[in-house]
């Protein structure tokens, strides 16, 4: 499928109110054709409502939603060229797996032989050949997930919506499915819009992502951009672990009172007697806690005045689990000026 320069999905000043609750509050958004796009946010942040409005299960209170340039804001779900993988899979319990997958073709009056053949092809695509005769209740969680995918993809939608589809799976299966979904998306070449509250999942899979908070979008960008340059305190805190430095301490370190964030792994701990490079920011503190985590060690460093920084050091040279610095030790920290991101600055 050739990619179009028209965005696959566009939100123009979309709001959705439920009574007094502003579930979605003046959202503007563009999702490029063929992208793996993730809507990330805590529960109640409006991400699922946005997804439901794209699918047509919900309608905006105000604003417009465009699918490939066409205004679909008030079009019913069955007239939109998008399909959805539901959080609980929503397989039809009274139908076989094959009938589930062929459902979309059936309601379009595709002849029986043809839709059966097509459905079997889809089951192969999701690596479930030969399971067509079973009922959904006879499948494992992971298998149901794949059936739901096959059922949604059989109509060859230009956009596939996925509502926390991996939420019910255990960690190992979830990690496998993440990679598989990503591969599948590249194979079929259509836009995936993926909703999750799991920031690691979002960073792993997405071409770009939007971080939702209280019905608004806080930031849109590629995973690295979101992680490295969080646009708000919320993003800095929600995506990964972050140290926020503000007020007098910020003034003391950077010379400016603007709040900035620094990721734990970007901070270096100096050994005794070493001097920080002159072009870096530095600060001194007392190690208040040391947590050994295998791949790396986490330190809590008390800078005084209630400011505690989290520092992560890869265990490159440690042996026998002996940490680099011990609790109660006075240490000097430094980090490159580039890594201290001023919140809100581009």
Partner 1 sequence: MKTTAALPRSPIQRFSNFLYAHPALGLALLLGPPLVWMIGIYLSSLFTMLVQSFFRLDDFTGQIVREFTLSTYAQLFTASNLDIVQRTAGMATAVTLATLLIAFPLAYYMARYASTRAKGFLYLAVTLPLWSSYLVKVYAWKLILAKEGILSWVIGQLHLTAGMDWLLGIPTIGGPSLSISPIGIFLVFVYVWLPYMILPIQAALERVPKSLLEASGDLGAKPAKTFRHVILPLAFPGMVAGSLFTFSLTLGDFIVPSVMGNSSFYIGQAVLSHQGTSGNIPLAAAMTSVPLLIMAIYLILARRLGALDAL
Partner 2 sequence: MPSKTVNREERAPLVIVGMALAAVLFLNLPVFIIFVYAFTTDSQTFTFPLPGLTTQWFGIAAGRNDLWEALGLSIRVALLATVLAMLLGTLAAAAVSRSKFFGREAVSFLLVLPLALPGIVTGIALRQTMGVLDIPFSFFTIVVGHATFCMVIVYNNVLARFRRMSWSIMEASADLGANSWQTFRYVLLPSMSTALLAGGMLAFALSFDEVIVTTFTAGQDSTLPIWIFSQLTRPRDRPVTNVVALFVVLIMAIPILLSYRISQRDGETQLNR
Q: Judged by CB under 8 A, which stretch of 23-31, 91-99, 191-199, 278-286 contacts partner 2?
A: 91-99
Note whether 88 binds partner 2 by CB under 8 A. Answer: yes
152-181 binders of partner 1 (CB under 8 A)? 155-156
CB distance 334 to 280 below 8 Å = yes
Q: Does 75 bind partner 1 (CB under 8 A)?
A: yes
Q: Does 103 bind partner 2 (CB under 8 A)?
A: yes
Total of residues contacting partner 2 (CB under 8 A) = 25
- When CB distances are held under 5 to 8 angstroms depending on the partner's kind, the choice from partner 2, partner 1, none that residue 152 binds is partner 2
Evaluate whether 325 touches 287 at the Cβ level (below 8 Å). yes
**Bridge partners of 283?**
333
The first and second tokens of residue 129, run together, are: 């050949």
289-318: which residues touch partner 1 (CB under 8 A)? none
* Contact code string over 29-58 relative to partner 1, x by CB under 8 A: ---------------------------x--
Q: Assess 113 for contact with partner 1 (CB under 8 A).
A: no
Residue 151 interaction partner, one of partner 1, partner 2, none, beta carbon < 5-8 Å per kind: partner 2
The answer to whether 79 contacts partner 1 (rule: CB under 8 A) is yes
Residue 245: other Cβ atoms inside 10 A = 23
Q: For partner 2, which residue of 1, 21, 106, 222 counts as binding (CB under 8 A)?
A: 106
Closest CA to 228 of 329, 130, 69, 340: 340
137 lies in the site for partner 2, by CB under 8 A: no
Contacts (Cβ under 8 Å, ≥6 apart) of 71: 64, 65
Say how many residues touch partner 1, by CB under 8 A: 11
Compute the least distance from the CB of residue 154 to partner 2, in Å. Answer: 8
Pairwise CA distance, residues 53 & 39, whole Å: 13
Binding flag, residue 71, partner 1 (CB under 8 A): no
75 binds, among partner 1, partner 2, none (CB under 5 to 8 A by kind): partner 1
3-state secondary structure the chain: CCCCCCCCEEEEEEEEEECCEEEEEEEEEEECCCCEEEEECCCCCCHHHHHHHHHCCCCCCEEEEEECCEECCCCCHHHCCEEEECCCCCCCCCCCHHHHHHHHHHCCCCCHHHHHHHHHHHHHHCCCCCCCCCCHHHCCHHHHHHHHHHHHHCCCCCEEEEECCCCCCCHHHHHHHHHHHHHHHHHHCCEEEEEECCHHHHHHHCCEEEEEECCEEEEEECHHHHHHCCCCHHHHHHCCCCEEECHHHHHHHHCCCCCEEECHHHCEEECCCCCCCCCEEEEEEEEEEEEECCCEEEEEEEEECCEEEEEEEECCCCCCCCCCCCCCCEEEEEEEHHHCEECCCC
The site partner of 296 among partner 1, partner 2, none (C-beta below 5 to 8 Å per kind) is none
Q: Which stretch binds partner 2 (CB under 8 A): 98-106, 138-146, 240-248, 300-308?
A: 98-106
Q: Which stretch binds partner 1 (CB under 8 A): 67-75, 229-237, 297-305, 321-329?
A: 67-75
Which range of residues in 17-25, 77-85, 127-135, 260-268 is near partner 1 by CB under 8 A?
77-85
Shortest reach from residue 92's CB to partner 2, in Å: 6
Q: Which residue, 57 or 66, is less far from partner 2 as judged by CB?
A: 57
Residues 44-83 binding partner 2 (CB under 8 A) are: 55-57, 76-78, 82-83
* Interface positions with partner 2 (CB under 8 A): 55-57, 76-78, 82-84, 86-88, 90-94, 103-104, 106-108, 151-152, 155
* Interface positions with partner 1 (CB under 8 A): 56, 70, 74-76, 78-79, 81, 108, 155-156
């Amino acid at each position: 499928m050739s990619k179009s320069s028209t965005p696959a999905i566009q939100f123009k000043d979309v709001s959705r109110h439920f009574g007094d609750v502003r579930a979605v509050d003046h959202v503007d958004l563009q999702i490029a054709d063929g992208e793996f796009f993730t809507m990330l946010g805590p529960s109640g942040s409006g991400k699922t409502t946005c997804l439901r409005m794209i699918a047509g299960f919900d309608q905006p209170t105000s604003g417009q939603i465009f699918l490939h340039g066409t205004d679909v804001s008030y079009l019913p779900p069955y007239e939109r060229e998008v399909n959805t993988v539901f959080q609980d899979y929503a397989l039809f319990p009274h139908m076989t797996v094959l009938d589930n997958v062929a459902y979309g073709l059936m309601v379009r009056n595709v002849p029986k032989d043809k839709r059966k053949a097509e459905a079997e092809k889809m089951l192969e695509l999701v690596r479930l050949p030969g399971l067509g005769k079973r009922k959904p209740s006879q499948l494992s969680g992971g298998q149901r997930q794949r059936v739901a995918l096959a059922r949604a993809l059989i109509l060859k939608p230009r956009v596939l919506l996925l509502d926390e589809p991996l939420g019910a799976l255990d960690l190992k299966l979830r990690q496998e499915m993440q990679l598989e979904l990503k591969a599948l998306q590249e194979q079929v070449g259509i836009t995936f819009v993926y909703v999750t509250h799991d920031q690691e999942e979002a960073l792993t899979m997405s071409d770009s992502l939007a971080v939702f908070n209280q019905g608004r979008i806080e930031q849109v960008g590629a995973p690295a951009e979101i992680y490295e340059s969080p646009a708000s305190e919320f993003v800095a805190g929600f995506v990964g672990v972050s140290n926020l430095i503000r007020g007098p301490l910020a003034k003391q370190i950077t010379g400016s009172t603007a709040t900035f964030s620094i990721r734990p792994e970007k901070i270096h701990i100096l050994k005794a007697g070493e001097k920080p490079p002159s072009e870096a920011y530095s600060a001194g503190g007392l190690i208040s806690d040391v947590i050994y985590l295998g791949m790396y060690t986490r330190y809590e460093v008390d800078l005084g005045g209630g400011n505690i920084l989290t520092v992560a050091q890869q265990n490159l040279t440690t042996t026998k689990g002996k940490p680099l610095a011990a609790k109660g030790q006075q240490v000097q920290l430094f980090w490159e000026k580039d890594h201290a991101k001023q919140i809100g600055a581009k």
